[in-house]
Amino acid sequence: MPVSQSTALSLRGQFRSLYTSLKRTGLLQRTPVVFCEGDSWFSTPLAMNLLDWIVSPAPDEEERGVPLFGQGGLFFRVERSGDHAARNPEAPKRSMFVREHIDDLMAWYSRFEFDLILLSAGGNDFVGPFLARTFAGHSSLDADAAFQRVLDSGQYARVREAYALFLQAAIAARPRVPVLAHTYDYPRLIGRSGPLTLGNIGVAAALKKSVGPWIGPHLGAISRGNPADTAAERRRFARLLIDGFERHVLRALKADPRFAATFDYVDLRGVLADDSDWFDEMHPTEAGFHDLAVRFRARIIAALPASKR
């Protein structure tokens, strides 16, 4: 592969063919092989997403000293927008870290010498129907009381246990391969859907009516008397939700002795602090994803074997 050129494949046959070719020619010894599973932060077609920027960085980044993959990389991508980390009660087949899906992934993963696993999972578990169920029958909550209901629901524990199920299987298959996840950044455009145009998703824009919102419509229970204060309180709740994911899922997993040597995560909170960095409630713009990817990429490279950085 030319310097800094990477290849992303989702079809297993194509991946196997290129992997075999790299191995036969001796290039596998210096080519990172990365297994990717995740949600829309890795897969949204609305713009270059977080993983797209890792695989295909901007042309001028190498000149500006931004860390790139030295000899390119081979990325196997199985992420899908809308998937949950834990079992999704509304759509069970859209669940990442459940036994049947993990068994299928590990049957494939164990056959190749992957250097790293990248995960993007958990955001969808805390929005949409979950919020609707959590706040049903409640009103006049402040952000703290609303967040306490999330804590009391046990959802963080369910997501953490789902992650743990995946990590146990990955470690059993390849004990020394690191796993790197990420937090989400703080949502800002609460209640706002994303604009659909031919420019950002092509002809699908003519068929799809909207992108979100997934959070705002379910926060009617959070109110503070006037619209400005209510909006601020709902945004504060969203921040608590993201902080809770970092503390009760990712940080807890990293502190777990079973996973401490394998699992780590990149904290992306507070990077995108302007409304213009966001496309909708849950997704940054292309430029926003790029800013996050610069931070994420540096940690990815550090997690690779020294010969492949």
Bridge partners (DSSP) listed for residue 26: none
Angle at 288 between CA 77 and CA 222, to 5 degrees: 100
C-alpha closest to that of 163 among 218, 200, 213, 123: 123
C-alpha closest to that of 236 among 129, 146, 306, 132: 146
Q: Is residue 2 part of a domain?
A: no
Segment 165-191, tens digit of pLDDT:
999 999 999 999 999 999 999 999 999
Q: Is residue 30 part of a domain?
A: yes
Whether the Cβ atoms of residue 12 and residue 96 lie closer than 8 Å to each other: no
H-type alpha helices, 77-207: 99-109, 129-135, 143-153, 155-173, 198-201
Looking at residue 19, its pLDDT comes to 93
At residue 58, what is the residue type? A
Q: Is residue 80 part of a domain?
A: yes
Q: Is residue 67 part of a domain?
A: yes
Q: Which domain holds residue 91?
A: 7-308
Q: What is the mean pLDDT of the chain?
A: 90
Number of domains within the chain: 1
Distance from C-alpha of 153 to C-alpha of 151, rounded to nearest angstrom: 5
Model confidence at 196, pLDDT cuts 50, 70, 90, reads low
Name the DSSP class of 95: B
Q: Is residue 220 part of a domain?
A: yes
Segment 210-225, tens digit of pLDDT:
567 999 999 999 999 8
Tell me, yes or no, if the pTM score tops 0.85.
yes
Looking at residue 1, its pLDDT comes to 36
Distance from C-alpha of 59 to C-alpha of 79, rounded to nearest angstrom: 25
H-type alpha helices, the chain: 12-24, 40-43, 50-55, 99-109, 129-135, 143-153, 155-173, 198-201, 227-245, 252-255, 286-303
For residue 137, give the CATH number of its domain: 3.40.50.1110
Segment 1-55, tens digit of pLDDT:
334 467 877 789 999 999 999 999 998 998 999 999 999 999 988 889 999 999 8
Q: Is residue 232 part of a domain?
A: yes
Better-scored residue on pLDDT, 205 or 164: 164
Backbone φ, ψ for residue 222 (5° rounding) = -95, 110
